[in-house]
């Protein structure tokens, strides 16, 4: 499962859940909530945590995550990638979270449907946007079988240096519990 686009170039991923999150982080300041036993994708602009272990995600090396991603983690099931978390930095020139969201939406798969967009405030950050979307898996690159429903979330905005960031979580239907998705999104912290 490997798309070569950037929100503009994003690793195609897969995400499940009827996402009902209304905000990220704790209160937009301080540090994000990271559950015990979870790993963290830590970059110079943003960090995000993920469940580890046999049923969790595995962090990808620089060679395995694609050249446009500053960090990535995948979850496999029966040899197929069923969930992906990616972090992109400085993927477009933008002056606001709104502009970053427009650029991030441009990288979503053809035929995807945007199901929502709202303001959020990740820990350590100011304004950000959350974009929810759905699409059907292509069956390519080791992902779920063709036609499998996939949902996704992108949290995007500007880091403390005014550069864009995008944290994207995709998962095939049934591959990521809604509670874990909420914790992942809540763990986004801007640097």
For 98-130, what is each residue's pLDDT tens digit?
999 999 999 898 889 999 999 999 999 989 999
In degrees rounded to 5, what are phi and psi of residue 30? 70, -140
Contact 48, 35 (CB under 8 A): no
pLDDT in tens, 129-183: 999 999 999 999 899 999 999 999 999 999 999 999 999 999 999 999 999 999 9
Contact 122, 100 (CB under 8 A): no
**Which residues lie below 8 Å from residue 44, measured CB to CB, with a gap of 6+?**
70, 89, 191
Query: What pLDDT is attached to residue 94?
Result: 96
Phi-psi region of 94 (alpha: psi -120 to 50; beta: other; left: phi over 0): beta
pTM of the entire structure?
Answer: 0.84
**Which residues lie below 8 Å from residue 142, measured CB to CB, with a gap of 6+?**
1, 2, 79, 80, 81
The model's confidence at residue 30, banded by pLDDT at 50, 70 and 90, is: low
């Amino acid at each position: 499962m490997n798309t070569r686009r950037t929100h503009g170039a994003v690793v195609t991923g897969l995400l499940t859940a009827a996402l009902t999150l209304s905000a990220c982080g704790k209160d937009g300041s301080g540090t994000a909530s990271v559950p015990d036993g979870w790993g963290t994708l830590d970059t110079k602009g943003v960090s995000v945590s993920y469940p580890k272990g046999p049923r969790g995600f595995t962090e990808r090396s620089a060679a395995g995550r694609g050249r446009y991603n500053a960090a990535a983690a995948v979850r496999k099931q029966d040899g197929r990638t069923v969930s992906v978390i990616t972090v992109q930095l400085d993927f477009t020139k933008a002056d606001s979270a709104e502009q970053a969201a427009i650029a991030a939406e441009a990288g979503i798969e053809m035929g995807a449907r945007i199901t929502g967009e709202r303001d959020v405030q990740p820990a350590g950050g100011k304004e950000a946007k959350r974009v929810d979307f759905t699409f059907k898996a292509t069956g390519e690159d080791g992902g779920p079988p063709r036609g499998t429903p996939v949902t996704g979330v992108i949290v995007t905005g500007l880091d403390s240096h005014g550069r864009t960031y995008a944290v994207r979580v995709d998962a095939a239907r049934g591959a990521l519990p809604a509670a874990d998705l909420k914790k992942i999104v809540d763990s986004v912290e801007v640097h």
